[in-house]
Structure 1
Amino acid sequence: MAMSGTLHTQTGLLIEIFNEMGGVWIKLNELDSAKDCLERCLNLINSLPEAKAETLKLVIVKVYRRKAELAVALKRYTEAIEWVDQAMSVLPKVNAYHELVRLQK
């Protein structure tokens, strides 16, 4: 599942794995662990060359959406909206309908 959006790059796959782990931690209400996983994602994203980041836009959007979910779980609603706004600004124009629907939740 993770390989579908990462174009089979090692960094993209790591981001996807840590993002999914963060989601599991949020569901288990282990918010500190979720924060750690998502911070790893952000560090990996920030280390990407611009060209590679461009190819991983949908993966980056998923991380930003997960950060918004974490902010909601922490009752930081303004921060959650900021993460959704960031995700919307990165969202690819093509083939991203399902992610757009998830962001609207």
Structure 2
Amino acid sequence: MSFNQPVLISAEVDVIRVLADPLRAQLVELLANGPACTCHLVTDTGAKQPTVSHHLKALKDAGLVVAEPRGRFTYYRLLPDPLERSAAALAALAEQARTNANQLREC
């Protein structure tokens, strides 16, 4: 993920760019059903453990998930607030596009 590019939706978390990776998007969908440990996510995705761990770290670094140690295992939980803020920003862009759909700029 390149941090030199402009942020698409939010200065806090660029959810769109983080979720552009198909495996990360799949992990977020799985975690929306509740916390899971890496072993569950490896089984559910079919990806190798190092790959899943790499993407969980990216999601954690982006503030989309938190890690919760439980005994020998670490469970990952999806945080809904960054998703909600990005959804609101996308909805506002859609409304702006709808409002300005007929506002042609002169050449």
Q: TM-score surpassing 0.5?
A: no
The structure richer in strand per residue is: 2
Instruction: Give the alignment's TM-score, normalised by structure 2.
Output: 0.31
Structure 1 length normalisation: TM-score?
0.32
- In terms of fraction of residues, the more helix-rich structure is 1
The structure whose Rg is larger is: 2
